[in-house]
Structure 1
């Protein structure tokens, strides 16, 4: 009886010492890249009893599983089909790290690494953060009768911090529009500032998840003898004249060719 109690105590003490280790800091991964989720455990000499299960913490979806010495993907969520991989050569060393290819917004969240072998069972939980760098902002300048609207458009994730700064570095008011892009993995941003010309402003965008900061300077001026409105009218007349001239030349060329 004493021998049985001693054996049970030894097994329980081993189980208590067994632990799974994952990073405490969130894992940041850029859209479309491969995510690497670290997970380590105390290995056993015999891996035939090794069971590894990666799951989503929010809904317990199976991301990847391994037992009986091979990957077991029959119960894997379709969201991860063909995208996950364990390094089998590292399992004997106590490394159950998982890679997830082609990361998207739906992959963001908390993951559990659950490991069981002859030394015990334990789990670790880590967080995966999805981010997308904002694209090069596209500039538009809209001339009104009494003012000028400067607008930048760009896409990225998550929602950024946007500011317009004056020539002295002062914070200017702006009109910001943010909406989901069609694929759901990006935000489409339009930010504009209405000014009285001439002016000098700076558009600033900070991505809170990625180490990304964009600054674009806009200087706008015109000849003091000509209003911006008149400039637009003159430019329009010139465009119409050029189009008419081109059409006339093409008509004369075709007429001479027929003769």
Structure 2
């Protein structure tokens, strides 16, 4: 008969001790030249420089930002001011040039409230009396993952028991692993799923099925290499698996015991009644 494992979050006071060690670090990883990292929800500056007109005039300077390999306009500037009539809708009210720095040759672009959809290669082109210069800048988007949410359910020590970790709101896909108390990699014995949520960010669910008994230690590891974010979460399962009278399994066992006791009692009563009837008939035949 097929048996399904239903998930119920149960309270196991005194049986489980969780030791969570916070050892996170969040720094920017080294990236190749002409690449910038942008954190989701924050603003970034995409760099671009050119040889300016020594006179400081911008009358003949044309600055165009667009997606590389595409005709989508991110931002444009000519005739001494922004020209946004052909700007792609995805960048509307989100871009800015540092107009005060243009005479010094700074055509960098300010991009507000970065999202996953902004990860792309951007082409900066500048045309003035000295000619045309252009270069491509790669924007890489990242988001740190949240603090893990831990669920432990022993399911009365059945083969449906598990340890589950949920981490949300990160980008790009993280590396996930598990170690046992000896430091051995037990990741192959786990199930890890990635789901894309709001804004293209990832949620990660990693589950270790059928953890071992008392005193067993595990370590959950998550790495977001782009941000050099690393989480180590240590956990210890303590105490013996005990089935109390209030558990479903104990109630089933108790019901079986009651039924068996009733059947035995009924059988004994029937045997006693049969013997008594036989003795009565024998006594009647004698008289």
TM-score bin (small chain): 0.7 to 0.9
CA apart distance, 1:231: 8.5
Which position in structure 2 is the counterpart of 1:146? 158
| Structure 1 residue runs of 4 or more that deviate by more than 6 Å after TM superposition | none
Runs (5+) with no aligned partner, structure 2:
1-31, 252-287
SS in 2 for 1:91: helix
Separation in 1, partners of 2:231, 2:245: 31
CA apart distance, 1:35: 1.5
Separation in 2, partners of 1:125, 1:175: 40
Using structure 1 for the length normalisation, give the TM-score: 0.77
Runs (5+) with no aligned partner, structure 1:
1-22, 238-259
Q: 1:75-102 CA deviation, whole Å, 9 max, x = no partner?
A: 0011001110111110000000001000
The correspondence for 1:191, drawn from 180, 195, 206, is: 206
Separation in 1, partners of 2:107, 2:226: 27
RMSD over aligned Cα, in angstroms? 2.0
Which position in structure 1 is the counterpart of 2:126? 115
* Higher gyration radius (CA): 2
Q: Is the 8 A contact 2:34 2:136 kept in 1?
A: no
Using structure 2 for the length normalisation, give the TM-score: 0.69
1:191-230 map, 5 Å? 191-194=206-209, 195-198=211-214, 199-222=216-239, 224=240, 227-230=241-244
CA apart distance, 1:233: 2.4
Separation in 1, partners of 2:144, 2:65: 28
Which position in structure 1 is the counterpart of 2:51? 42
Separation in 2, partners of 1:232, 1:211: 47
Question: For structure 1, which segment, 70-79 or 206-215, has the greater mean C-alpha deviation from structure 2 after superposition?
Answer: 206-215
Q: Does 1:52 align with 2:68?
A: no
CA apart distance, 1:110: 0.3
Q: Does 1:33 align with 2:42?
A: yes
